[in-house]
Amino acid sequence: MKTIKLTFVLLLAMTTSVFAQKPSAELLTPTNHSLLLIDHEGQMGFAVNGIDPVQLRNNVGLVAGASKIFNIPTVVTTVAAESFSGPVFPEISEFYPNEAEYVDRTTMNTWEDVNAHKAITGKNKKKIVMAGLWTSVCIVGPAMSAIAEGYEVYIITDASGDISQEAHDMAVQRMIQVGAKPITSMQYLLELQRDWARGETYEAVNQLAMRFGGGYGLGIQYARKMLKH
């Protein structure tokens, strides 16, 4: 009887160990998704309320920088860049300087633009992470459209914004109701890193966090100086 119990305990321990190391398929990895950055342009940013513009830009910098560090297939799209909305945030153009690769549109719903749709679906990723301005128009449209076509959509809520907090919140709720998953910019960065033993991206992630990560970045800087880390 003792032998049977011991065997059961060992099998249980082995099973628990195996399953404990298997992450959820819901988590984002550097290879299981594409990133869509929508209309982070001056004219769109002027009217944003509910998030401080400096905070918004820092969050966008975290997202764009993370996508470069982890080589995420990324589409940057603009709306009427030459005639109305203007250039993208410098926090995006720093990491994606080739404006010729941006997809400019006239449609408010990115998904309805032929070139944008081709660029996004051409990445061949069933998970799409989105952020942009404004949440209630330029994010709701492609998010709901992509979900309708069978894609899994993640919305980086603090790298998006709208003309009022209510407009932003209602848009996020509407997308959640049809299956979109809300995340934040720092969450995006750290979910991709996941393990501090991943040395190939460790330093770049820390440098990005120190630059755009607010208090968390200050903490890293402090620890390195005071603890000689």
DSSP track, 164-178: SHHHHHHHHHHHHHT
Q: What predicted TM-score, i.e. pTM, was given to this entire model?
A: 0.89
Over residues 58-100, the pLDDT tens digits come to 999 999 999 999 999 999 999 988 889 999 999 999 999 999 9
Asked whether the beta carbons of 160 and 48 are under 8 A apart, the reply is: no
Say yes or no to pLDDT of 6 above 50: no
**β-sheet with 74-79: strand ranges across:** 103-105, 74-79, 33-38, 127-132, 152-156, 181-183
Residue 216 Cα to chain centre, angstroms: 18
Asked whether the beta carbons of 35 and 63 are under 8 A apart, the reply is: yes
Tokens describing residue 49: 């309320």
For residue 229, name the pLDDT band (cuts at 50, 70, 90): low
Domain spanning 33-194: which CATH class is it, in words? alpha beta
Over residues 170-201, the pLDDT tens digits come to 999 999 999 999 999 999 999 999 999 999 99
Q: Which helix (H) or strand (E) holds 127?
A: strand 127-132
